[in-house]
Amino acid sequence: MTTNFTHGGNVFAVARSLGVAPEEIVDFSASINPLGPAPGVREALADAFDRLVHYPDNDCTALREALAEGHGLSPEQIVVANGSTELIYLMPRLVEGKRALIVAPAFSEYERALELAGWEADFLYLRPREGFRISLGHLEEKLAQGCGLLFLANPGNPAGNVVRPEELEQVVDRAVAAGAFVVIDEAFIDFCEANSAKRLTVRTAGCIVLRSMTKFYALPGLRLGYAIASERVISRLAKLREPWSVNTLAQAAGCASLVDAAYRQATIRHAEEERGFLAGELRKIPGLVPYPTAANYLLVEITSGPRSGELRERLIGERLLIRSCGNFMGLDDRFMRLAVRKRVENERLVAALAGVYGTCG
């Protein structure tokens, strides 16, 4: 089965179809911090403008040092990239093999990166009714078939479930023993940092953590991500990157984002409050079942009424954009993913859903 490689966040196409400005679309399909970039980012971008006459720092030295300080690591254990997606596409080149295992449901770019590199993708499907928990026994059965790579998102996307550090260590141990290199995608881990596998990855050559700065720090238009691993793995990975893939403005924005502790605390507090509010309101609507999540989005199962594809088209008319999960491997259009946004926007979405599903909430 081939995945339909489409994503959320296509506000420009939707706005064009409606003949409105992109700013008029409330985007629940892409899970970006609704507070926007950190306050110091705008000034940092302006200050960096005159440096655009030079090539970017290919080593991203200042940003790597800032990241290393924030994580308590060495700069040599970090490589910066043009979003974590650039790193995903480098993974099949980092290790030997032709067959990979993807823990699903999952981000479609894992499969696409493998496909373009000539790899075969297999899937370990996690079940909603089991809380999307990984069965170590089932994992071992899949690994025994031979895998060069194992892709795992933590928190899961679109499920939002978290694999605890002690469980994740067991997964990595079994995968490495079976000859698989483990790629842990932590694009949304900033919302639950205590569950990061960064300490695990720096002490073994068998795994790597991929991180994004576009979700938590609201910088998707600049494209910025990084990887954490042992110095040996990072050295190999850095040699695979195309030169100057991280532009000067992205590096400046990244550094400015990291220094603002108050912004990070406000983001986590807002996500927790609004996540709880949105989940609670959705539970009042017959036919909608939100799943527990540690991220800034909710996976919602539709047990009756219009499915997510039809719902998406109906809500576009109200300038609300949701993410249908019909093209996620392991899910179908009985599921949708909703970003956690600001209260007034969340209330607007709840009212629209209540109208569709025949209740005042």
Q: List pLDDT tens digits, range 203-217.
A: 989 999 999 999 999
Query: Which residues, 6 or more positions from 233, have their beta carbon under 8 angstroms from its beta carbon?
Result: 94, 205, 208
**Does residue 148 contact residue 97 with C-beta atoms inside 8 Å?**
yes
pTM: 0.94
Residue 229: DSSP 8-state: -
pLDDT, residue 128, reads 92
Residue ranges of the chain with pLDDT lower than 70? 1-9, 359-361
Q: Which two tokens stand for residue 27?
A: 């985007």
Q: Do 74 and 94 form a contact (C-beta atoms < 8 A)?
A: no
- Measured CA to CA, the distance from residue 188 to residue 313 in angstroms comes to 27
Pairing verdict, β 26-27 and 78-81 = unpaired
Preceding peptide of 155 cis, ω within 30°? yes
d(CA 226, CA 240): 14
Asked if omega into 158 is within 30° of 0 (cis), the reply is yes
The residue to which tokens 């507070």 are assigned: 35
306-330 pLDDT per residue, tens: 999 999 999 999 999 999 998 898 8
Element (H, E) at 122: strand 120-125
> Structural domain boundaries of the chain?
11-30+262-356, 41-258
The reply to whether omega before 105 is within 30° of 0 (cis) is yes
Kindly state the tokens that stand for 337.
């993913």
Looking at residue 5, what is its pLDDT?
45
- As given in the structure block, the two tokens for residue 155 are 């928190």
Give the pLDDT confidence score for residue 9 in this predicted structure. Answer: 55
- Distance between CA atoms of 184 and 84, rounded to whole angstroms? 11
Residue 315 DSSP symbol: H
* 71-96 burial code (b ≥16 CB/10 A, e <16): bebebebbbbbbbbbbbbbbbbebbe
CATH fold label, 41-258: Aspartate Aminotransferase; domain 2 (3.40.640)
Single-letter residue type at 210: L
Sheet of strand 78-81: strand arrangement: 78-81, 225-228, 207-212, 181-185, 149-153, 99-104, 120-125
- Angle at which helix 343-356 crosses helix 308-316, to 10 degrees, equals 120
Per CATH, the number for 11-30+262-356 is 3.90.1150.10
Half-sphere exposure of 219 (CA within 13 A, CB side): 32
Q: How far is CA 194 from the centre of its chain?
A: 17
